[in-house]
Amino acid sequence: MSNVEVIVPVAFFAMIFGIIVLVTYYRNKRMERTALIASGRDASIFKEEEKKTRINSLKYGIFLIGIAIGFIVGDSLALGGVMTEGVSYISMVLLFGGFALLVFYLLARKMGKETDKIGSVNE
């Protein structure tokens, strides 16, 4: 039995499961919003979720770029004979992944300070 014969059914069931999870998630989210609006409450809580989504996208984007740079540097170190292949890949991916998270932290902190300044000016 080849790998393709196993991968296709597993991928099919994973796709069906993912669709069910997404449909359930968005249906519940819509029902929560409708209930908040019907009870007369403020639905601004969902705007905070959108801000978190943007900041998470930034974090994962910077992190994945750092990992990619780690792979490139690790490959060049392995090809140059500076380090063995396994050590160079693992160490550089971890190093640049951590560096990317540090860069994200500094950017997020700077963005938070700018948001606080804008908020205090508007008050």
Beta strands in 2-103 (DSSP E): none
Look at residue 122 in the predicted model and tell me its pLDDT: 46
What's the pLDDT tens digit per position in 59-81?
Answer: 999 999 999 999 999 999 999 88
The model's pTM: 0.57
Per-residue pLDDT, averaged over 39-60, amounts to: 76
Structure confidence at residue 112 (pLDDT): 78
Displacement of CA 85 from its chain's centroid (Å) = 28
CB atoms within 10 A of CB 116: 10
What's the rounded Cα separation, in Å, for the pair 97 and 80?
Answer: 22
Per residue in 9-22, pLDDT tens?
Answer: 888 999 999 999 99
Nearest to 48 by CA among 59, 40, 56: 56
DSSP3 helix / strand / coil % (the chain, rounded to 5) = 90, 0, 10
Question: Residue 35: what pLDDT?
Answer: 85
Q: What is the pLDDT of residues 76-105, one digit of tens each?
A: 999 988 888 888 999 999 999 999 999 999
Return the minimum-mean-pLDDT range out of 8-17, 52-61, 113-122: 113-122
The pLDDT value recorded for residue 123 is 47
